[in-house]
A = this chain, B = another copy of it.
Amino acid sequence: MPKTKYVEIYEDLKQKIEKNMYEYQQLLPSENTLVKEYECSRNTVRRAIGNLVNDGYVQTKHGQGARVIYQDFKQNEYMFGETETFKEFALRNLKKHETKVVVFEELTVDEAIHEHTLLPIGVEVYHIQRVRHLEGNPVIMDYNYFRKDVVKGLTVDIAEDSIYEYLARELNQRAVTAKRKMVVERTTEADEKYLKLDGFNSVVVVTSHIFNADGVMFEHTQSRHTPGNFVFFDQTQRK
């Protein structure tokens, strides 16, 4: 699939910023200059720049230009909370990883489950409980609910490898929108039984509602992270 023009420009500019070809606090070339450089319309350039703004790479000012505010953070090795899956994360950081399935069962959503998952009453789901290990240490407990009409044919083997790889490869399904809520809670007995808490009496609880391309909320997950391995980044602009 060919990349679109504005994505190409966006990625090119992004890379140039990361390589300090455009430096911190410097203005990007004006939109009209970039129009000539990339031989495209001004709208296309503006779209690319808009994406850089969303990433916190530049900040635009009316009448002035787009100023680089990217700073080369020391790349934190841990980085949960983004769209990345556990396996992707582990591979990117070259970490030994392992997933152990504690519970694997099939249920029908009742009032109680609906209450905390928002999944519709009556639909059939897989309920999976997994412990995620990094470098041999148990660092995350996942409680998943997957709609069986969307995620067909799950097995324990798949759940120990990567459900999302299976979804993409076999079912042509993927997560499009993820809504997440993060809180910190006191540990439960299960947390203390399964996780390596390093003295913490709390865990970071990330509750996710995940929608596929058809707008169906097909997954509800509660991930309980050991605090020592949890980092979350975020950037916002107000206009």
Give chain B residues whose Cβ lies under 8 Å from the Cβ of A230: 183-184
A82 — nearest CB in chain B belongs to which residue? B236
Set B185, B199, B235, B238: member contacting A201, Cβ < 8 A: B199
Q: Which residues of B contact A83 (CB under 8 A)?
A: 236, 238
Contacts of A81 in B (CB 8 A): 234
Q: For chain A residues 13-33, which have a beta carbon within 8 Å of chain B?
A: 25
Instruction: Please judge, given known A-B contacts A83-B238, A184-B184, A202-B184, whether A215 and B67 are in contact too, CB under 8 Å.
Output: yes
Per-position binary interface string of chain A over residues 134-160, scored 1 when its CB falls under 8 Å from any chain B CB and 0 otherwise: 000000000000000000000000000
Q: What are the interface flags for A104-125 relative to B under an 8 Å C-beta threshold, 1 for contact and 0 otherwise?
A: 0000000000000010000000
- Residue pair B211, A186 in contact (C-beta under 8 Å): no
By the criterion CB–CB under 8 Å, are B59 and A177 in contact? yes
Give 11 CB contacts A-B under 8 Å: A61-B214, A67-B215, A176-B238, A179-B235, A180-B233, A181-B231, A182-B233, A184-B200, A184-B202, A184-B204, A184-B227
Known: A82-B236, A201-B201. 5 other contacts (CB 8 A): A25-B215, A59-B215, A175-B238, A178-B237, A182-B182
A residues with CB within 8 A of B: 25, 56, 59, 61, 67, 69, 71, 81-83, 118, 174-186, 199-202, 204, 209, 211, 213-215, 217, 227-228, 230-239
